Homo-oligomer: A and B are copies of this chain.
Amino acid sequence: METTILKLGGSVITDKDSPETVDDASLNSVLDAVATTSDTDGRLVVVHGGGSFGHVHAAEHGVSTTDGTHEAAAANQIHAAMKRLNRQVVDRLHDRGVEALPVHPLSVAARDERGKLSLPATAAAGLLDEDFVPVLHGDVIVHAGEGLTVLSGDEIVTSLADSLNANRVGLCSTVPGVLDEDDAVIEEIRSFKDVESVLGASESTDVSGGMAGKVRELLSLGAPAHIFGPEAVEAFLDGDDPGTRIDGR
């Protein structure tokens, strides 16, 4: 049976300009698409970003993917905000008949001194085997020597694609794909050289948001990935190739 990972960008499902505010119309529309296709045979994992829930608190406490905090209460504010957003996603999936359950990365994952992520997929894999839809999210996690740092939704996708042997990965963002010089969607990327002139070197971008780093990560996966806009979630879940197809295999 096929395993699909769908990442919903924080900017898609929240109003980034307003603290802890869900973008109702946009979230409902992508979850409708999930519900429409979820009665098919496949196994689905949903991962969502932080948007205006996580980022506000993370910025307030100066916590990023590399700079940590040893203050448990500060970290737990970020974590609790992300759980509130996750609860909204999970509850709205239940409203649509999708058997979703929350999986909170702080409970599962850790980084070593070099920042390398371990995220055992025991619970997520078990939930998939029982026909549930695990819903993960960007979070704070323990980081050796740093206390707690941010784990981005994109890092979760990369880790789970590997540990769950995913067949397809979809990243729903606010743009309809990776854009070229003329803002047209690039249909396919097979190597980073194809797009280096457009995206620039990946070193200059941040871990959580930069498109160059994202493309490089997705090229390293053992499965094809797609980057597309909110209107294309249903097409992606139906097996089509919307947006930009990224396949470095």
CB-defined interface of A143-176 with B at 8 Å, one 1/0 digit per residue? 1111110000000000000000000000000000
Q: Which residue of B lies closest to A98 (CB)?
A: B72
Q: Which residue of B lies closest to A83 (CB)?
A: B83
- Quick check: is A129 within 8 A (CB to CB) of the other chain? yes
Stretch of A6-14, A40-48, A106-114, A202-210 lying at the B interface: A106-114
B101 pairs with A123, CB closer than 8 A = no
Please report the total number of A residues contacting B with Cβ < 8 Å.
47
Interface of A is mostly: mixed
Complex partner residue of A108 from B99, B108, B111, B142, CB under 8 angstroms: B108
Nearest Cβ distance between residue A72 and chain B, in whole angstroms?
A: 4
A94 beta carbon closer than 8 Å to chain B = yes
A57-65, A74-82, A189-197, A240-248 - the one binding chain B: A74-82
Of residues 91 to 111 in A, which have CB atoms within 8 Å of B's CB atoms?
94, 98-111
Assuming the A-B contacts A90-B76, A99-B71, A101-B72, are A108 and B120 also in contact, with contact meaning beta carbons closer than 8 angstroms in the complex? yes
Interface residues of A (CB under 8 A from B): 70-73, 75-76, 79-80, 83, 87, 90, 94, 98-111, 118-120, 122-123, 125-127, 129-133, 141-148
